[in-house]
Amino acid sequence: MPRTTTQVEVPRPCAEAWEAMTPTAHGRHCAACQHTVTDFTHKTDAEVLALLRQAAGRRVCGRFRADQLQRPLLVPKTAARWHTWLLAAGALLGLRALGAPAAQGQTAPTHLPRPGQLPAPVPVPQVIALGMVSPGAVISTSVTGQILDAATGEPMPGVTVLVKGTLVGVSTDMEGRFRLNVPAGARVLQISAVGYVRREVTIADVSEAAPIELKMSADVLGGLVYVRQPWYAPRTWLNVLRSVPRRVANIWR
């Protein structure tokens, strides 16, 4: 009887980046397909097969390594007890044969199949095609740019540049420049600095040839500020109390 093997294929990988998904107890939640994506990258072939059999008939979303795809999933066989005893007996006989004289004129026997004997069964591959699967190899691109003050045109150091919806980000250097490895599927950068209006830009539009300008927030713009000090300020009362002894002494003079 043919022996069945199983292999996993990904005909349509998910475009959502693994880092952009929300962590859960069993993997991560994909907002694009509204499913939980199981992380298979650290699992053995036997564990992968067991999880796929448990989810038989249901939609499965998973993250795999490249070497886990398009090959038969191998499960180690457990040796039968009689086979273990046979190997032990063969080893014992081999130790005894070490002290015997070598046989002369003997050749290794050739094993030919007996008439009517069937050849060894050929494994039949069973392909499991999973839809919307996040591949194990996450491709990232490098984005470089520069942040300038919109009013003065000066470079802005310390500006936070963050991939929207993730924790992937960097800060600009003293020249206002930054270099960021953006995961696959990311589209928007969030740029923020203290005292400036937060800005969102499309990653495809970011380049060093076109610096990004930030405008100062209206809450911190310059102007006349009047601060009224209350008459009961602690320092005022302290000065009054200190002057009481001097005033009393002047009365009796």
For the chain, the domains span: 4-75+126-135, 140-217
Residue 100 has pLDDT above 60, yes or no: no
Task: In whole angstroms, give the CA distance from residue 36 to residue 58.
Answer: 12
Q: List 36's β-bridge partners, or say none.
A: 29
**What DSSP state is assigned to residue 44?**
-
Taking the domain 140-217, which CATH number applies? 2.60.40.1120
Q: Which carries the bigger pLDDT value, residue 139 or residue 6?
A: 6
What pLDDT, on a 0 to 100 scale, did the predictor assign at position 109?
46
Q: What is the pLDDT of residue 144?
A: 93
Is residue 88 left, alpha or beta, with left meaning phi > 0 and alpha meaning psi from -120 to 50? Answer: alpha
Tell me if 144 sits within 8 A of 178, measured CB to CB: yes
Res 157: pLDDT: 94
From the centroid of its chain, how far is CA 29? 12
Higher model confidence: residue 126 or residue 145?
Answer: 145
> Over the chain, what is the mean pLDDT?
72
Helix/strand/coil for 49: helix
Query: Is residue 57 over pLDDT 90?
Result: no
Higher confidence at residue 169 or residue 219? Answer: 169
Phi first, then psi: what are they for 163, rounded to 5°? Answer: -70, 125
Q: How many other C-beta atoms lie within 10 A of the C-beta of residue 243? A: 10
Q: Retrieve residue 39's tokens.
A: 């992380």
How confident is the model at residue 136, as a pLDDT? 44
* Helices and strands per DSSP (H, E), number in the chain: 3, 14
User: How much of the chain exceeds pLDDT 90, in percent?
Assistant: 19
pLDDT at 127 over 80: no
Identify the top-confidence range among 42-46, 77-81, 177-181, 246-250.
Answer: 177-181
Burial of 3 (0-12, 13-18, 19+ CB in 10 A): exposed
Of 64-78, 95-109, 174-188, which range is least confident? 95-109
Burial class of residue 37 (count of CB atoms within 10 Å of its CB; 0-12, 13-18, 19+): buried
Overall average pLDDT of the 7-26 stretch: 76
Whose tokens are 């962590």? That residue is: 23
pLDDT of 190: 94
Looking at per-residue pLDDT, the higher value among 56 and 209 belongs to: 209
- Look up the pTM and report it: 0.36
Percent of the chain with pLDDT over 70: 58
Confidence check: pLDDT of 134 > 50: no
DSSP code, position 117: P
* Mean pLDDT of all residues in 182-188: 86
